[in-house]
Amino acid sequence: MQHHGDDFRGHRRGRTKKGPRSSALLLIVLDIFLLLCKFKQRKIKVQKQKYFKQNRGQLLQQLLSQKADIAERMIIPLDELTKATNNFDKARELRGGGHGTVYKGILSDLHVVAIKKSNITVQKEIDEFINEVAILSQINHKNVVKLFGCCLETEVPLLVYEFISNGTLYDHLHVEEPRSLTWDSRLRIATEIATSLVYLHSSVSIPIIHRDIKSSNKLLDDTMTSKISDFGASRYIPVDKTGLTTRVQGTIGYLDPMYFYTSRLTDKSDVYSFGVILVELLTRKKPFSYLSAEGDGLVSHFVNLLSEGNLVQIIDPQVMEGGTEVQEVATLAASCINLRGEERPTMRLVEHILHGLQVPRGITKMVS
């Protein structure tokens, strides 16, 4: 019996010797895990700092330094946008394209936003992008999509805009149904776009040329109010200059031919693109794909029919409810798409004419 008891105690002592070894091993594994986590966090932090520097974060801070409250609000941490989009979940994608992907997100302050992940990779473009963000941060107009800020802690900068829920002007115009937007709505939207361009061209401290005006970047909110968006191609013009020479950028069908051939960008390039939108509103034809039986593009065919007094061939039947206003808008559109840039009207004059067309209607409605 004694012998067996000794064996049992010996066995128990042998088991207790393994305890410290197991605890030590567990501590070593835990230390390694914590070190790896620390290393990973440091690596992420270094990478964020690298991207922030690469994306000219210091330049943006410097440009915004005179308005510290704007600077603090404009530069948004990556963690905030990761949470806002559920780690950039594919289900949050609104649309994608050649210029990047747009995600829907909800910020910690409960603002619903659209987060644009750009495809910019060239350092020169990043420098220009930062300058544009600094300018756009100071824009506040009801017909311009509000820029909340940007994130510079990723390989390419992220832009954060207010979320506009009702699609684009292009979406509403080019539906399969025979009827689209009413003539009143089209005229009002055209006036709102004109107003936003007047603001960009002449009401901000440094005039801005949008450079890519088209129906697909004119967003409509819940009240069908138009908001101009997509300032990725925009350029600002120093106040002492009338234009600048730059790499041609824009969308086929809307692109100013004079700018295309000379690379000289002026505010009249936006006027041309706006004229194309007026033609699109009048005809419901797509500027980038339309070809007449004679092989003419939309702009050429429209101008030819207008000069022949035969616009009825191309005008959307629904807009005929606009009466004489349709002819006036058609004439205005033709002046905007004049091949000679210097003969095009300014956006201020265009806005004035469009407002003038709406005033009589407003008075009539009040009287009736």
Question: Which positions are annotated as active-site residues?
Answer: 212
Q: Are 114 and 102 in contact (CB under 8 A)?
A: yes
Nearest to 165 by CA among 222, 94, 116, 216: 222
- 286 vs 70, 167, 254, 289, 319, CA distance in Å? 40, 17, 10, 6, 16
